[in-house]
Amino acid sequence: MKKSISKSIMNRVLAINEMLPTVLKSDEIPFTYAGGTWPYSVQLEAPIVVQNQFVYIKEDKVDNYSYGFEKRYNVNDEWSLEQLKYDLRIIKIAFNAIIKNN
């Protein structure tokens, strides 16, 4: 059975896309520890795109310390859906920290 994108995921994507221009203009680089001991940069090249059951995140990989998002998430795949939720949470927290500091 095909699932559609849930309202909570769409709201999170819209919130991140609204924050993206402010984050891109900032002098700071958003980062996350994501359960590790080293910080990883969280830099997006473009707004997150939702098409049918797929969500696309284009990450700007400047160095080896980029977080490493999947390029495409399928909400019909349970593992991919859980990973999408986790990754969106990480992006939103990192972006909120940048906006709060500016």
CB 26 within 8 A of CB 43: no
pLDDT in tens, 11-51: 999 999 999 999 999 999 899 998 788 898 999 989 999 99
Report pLDDT for 77: 92
CB 16 within 8 A of CB 9: no
Report pLDDT for 78: 92
φ, ψ dihedrals at 14, nearest 5°? -65, -40
Report pLDDT for 66: 78
Distance CA 26, CA 83 (A): 27
Q: What percent of the chain has pLDDT over 90?
A: 64
**Ranges of each domain in the chain:** 7-97
Q: Which two tokens stand for residue 61?
A: 């990989």
Q: What percent of the chain has pLDDT over 70?
A: 94
Distance CA 19, CA 85 (A): 18
Report pLDDT for 65: 76
Q: Which two tokens stand for residue 9?
A: 């995921």
